[in-house]
Amino acid sequence: MLLVIASLLFYAYGKPVYVLLLIGSSFFNYLFAWLVERDPGHKKVWVVAAVLANLAVLIIFKYTGFLISSFNSITGAAVPVPQIRMPIGISFFTFQALSYVIDVYRGTTKAQKNFGKVLLYVSFFPQLIAGPIVKYHDIEVEVNTRTQTLEGTFTGIRRFAAGLCKKVLIANTMGLVADNLFGAAASQINILGAWAGAISYMLQIYFDFSGYSDMAIGLGWMFGFHFKENFNYPYISSSIKEFWRRWHISLSGWFKEYLYIPLGGNRKGRTRTVINKMIVFLATGIWHGAAINFLFWGVYHGLFLMLEEYVPAIVKKGGKVKGFFQHIYALLVVCIGFVFFRAETMGQGVFWLKQMFTGFSFSTSAVSLVLQQLTPVYLVTLVCAVIAATPVNASLKKCRGYEVLVSLLSFAGLLLCILSLAGGTYNPFIYFRF
């Protein structure tokens, strides 16, 4: 009950009225799961109703404005566009609640009789607004009974501190440069500025998102919950397929379990497999936001997965030289994709891509803008970010005194983050868009 109260108060900090939406979403999914279990003769009807109800919530609060604006653009109509403020984290908690009903439908888990425990599962504050997306069957036992230990609490604090450092010290530094460049006039962006902005955003979104996931996992440990990892060094990938096994694992896992496999997965031949993957990545793009560039980003990744499916030589293992170029290929594809993900419009994304490869204009204002971003703090952070994006930590674990050193660094980092947050004003939350 204490965790439920804390979670609802935490969510109310954004916009209090949407606490009612969170509770309502939890309740009708609790009710649908109960109906699925109590009325097995009509359980398919109930689970379809649950899917439609959850999609309706997402469409109303997240996509209404986009759909009406698109309709007006296509038809020339002048339908008023409602100004609906999107509830924070709606994509995350809606997917979580829906997975609970589907798990009950499949018989993976029993319907929870205690509504408070369902509400805790849906609203639990550590991962409520930025993930990871937790499937009910993964923490069903811990929702009902869990233990808290001093060792678990200490591990959680250390993991939370690492995530906070990722967010505050690395992502915010990268984000400031990305915002300065993406927000600059087009005449000031040349090849140097375009690449600096693209790489900065690529690092910002990874350390921002993985930092929030680390904080959620750490807070979970403190309260006796053990969430699965959400990132596994995605920038060391040698293919887009591998990238998606390492990036936002909880989202790709959710789509695999609740969309890709029900569509037939890879059981119906290569052509059907490719179609199923394209549907999944179309849904992935739409899930991220109501904008054409998100839709394009999803289809873009789907096309490269299709390419790797039909031209396996691209990802076939080879020697060190081939492995190096495969790694460069994956990074380049991901970086270009994130340009469109970050761009405010498709037009800006196309312009940015053009400047990355043809922007050989070195006017005084363009060069000056880039040099202004390359401060000593940025350059040091950039080096740290590149190192931290690789699994160097796994190698260091074998060293003597590793645990003590990491513990001291974690607490030093936590203190530095507190000082930075207390004295700074730049602390973007890029998941408002999701």
3-state helix, strand and coil shares in percent for the chain, rounded to the nearest 5: 75, 0, 25
Peptide bond into 16 cis (omega under 30): no
DSSP-derived secondary structure for 138-192? HHHHHHH-----HHHHHHHHHHHHHHHHIIIIIIHHHHHHHHHHHTS-GGG--HH
How many residues in the chain? 434
Compute the distance between CA of residue 214 and CA of residue 434 in angstroms, rounded to an integer: 19
Compute the distance between CA of residue 204 and CA of residue 197 in angstroms, rounded to an integer: 10
Instruction: Give the start-end residues of each E strand in 254-412.
Output: none
Question: 16: which DSSP letter?
Answer: T
The answer to whether residues 298 and 288 touch, using CB atoms and an 8 Å cutoff, is yes
CA 373, chain centre distance (Å): 26
CA atoms within 13 A on the CB side of 394: 5
For residue 379, which of 184, 205, 170, 182 has the smallest C-alpha distance? 170
For the chain, state the CA radius of gyration.
23
Q: Which two tokens stand for residue 103?
A: 């798990």
Q: Which are the catalytic amino acids?
A: 288
- Give kind and range of the element (H or E) at residue 335: helix 320-342
